[in-house]
Amino acid sequence: MASRSRKQATRGSSRPAVPAWIWLAFGVVLGLVVAMVFLGSDWAPMLRKNAGPQPNPEAVAPRESEPPIVEAKDKPRKNYDFYSVLPEMEVVIPDSEISAKARAEAAQPASGTPPAVSATSRYLLQAGSYPSAKAADEVKAKLAILGFVAHVQPVTINGKTWNRVRLGPFASAGQLETTKAALADNGFNAIALKEESGQ
């Protein structure tokens, strides 16, 4: 009985076995063929390099003498710029005035002690004003990563709460100018303020 099963086993296995590497190579070639057919057809237009918007070869830029294609509308634009939400007791200082004051301070003879912050007026930098407290905290965190110490000051104007991200107070216009330039180098367009507490 054992001899019959051995003979049957040898008869059934008379075909040579296909090596595994041949099956692997066949699978890779088959996969490449399917991928080429798939990418060559319209089934996957988003995977092609030039599937995005194409430039218009007939488009031309308007000349300076021509009127614009779209006229400006007279509607007032909603502007959430924080320049418009400053209270009356704060004055925005132009960059030219900051530079002039910084040069005047530098021209004065230097004493060994740093100047003290005035009790009636002080210099501040406002890096932004946001209706969302979370957005203000994110900006404060970005400034902290860059090495700037900022604080968030919530203020209500016309019934709406704004969260201001501020740096300072600064003792001199020179410090204010240096910090404002460092903020600009890091992508923050801060405005300089002079806050009068005596008004």
Please give the residue range of the domain that contains residue 181. Answer: 88-107+117-196
Confirm whether 59 is domain-assigned: no
Query: Who's near 85: CB < 8 A, 6+ residues apart?
Result: 129, 155, 157, 162
Instruction: Give CA–CA dist 146/183, Å, rounded.
Output: 9
Confirm whether 7 is domain-assigned: no
Do 92 and 187 lie in one domain? The reply is yes
Q: Give the number of C-alpha atoms closer than 13 A to the C-alpha of residue 62, restricted to the C-beta side.
A: 7
Confirm whether 63 is domain-assigned: no
CA distances (Å), origin 122, targets 67, 76, 194: 48, 34, 6
Provide the residue-wise pLDDT of the chain in tens; the chain has 199 residues: 555 555 555 555 567 788 999 999 999 999 999 888 877 766 555 555 555 667 777 777 666 666 655 555 555 544 444 444 444 456 777 777 777 777 877 777 655 555 555 555 678 899 988 999 999 999 999 999 999 999 999 988 888 999 999 998 888 888 888 898 899 898 888 888 887 655 4
What's the pLDDT score for residue 165? 93
Do 36 and 102 lie in one domain? The reply is no
pTM: 0.48
DSSP-based three-state secondary structure for 153: strand
What's the pLDDT score for residue 79? 47
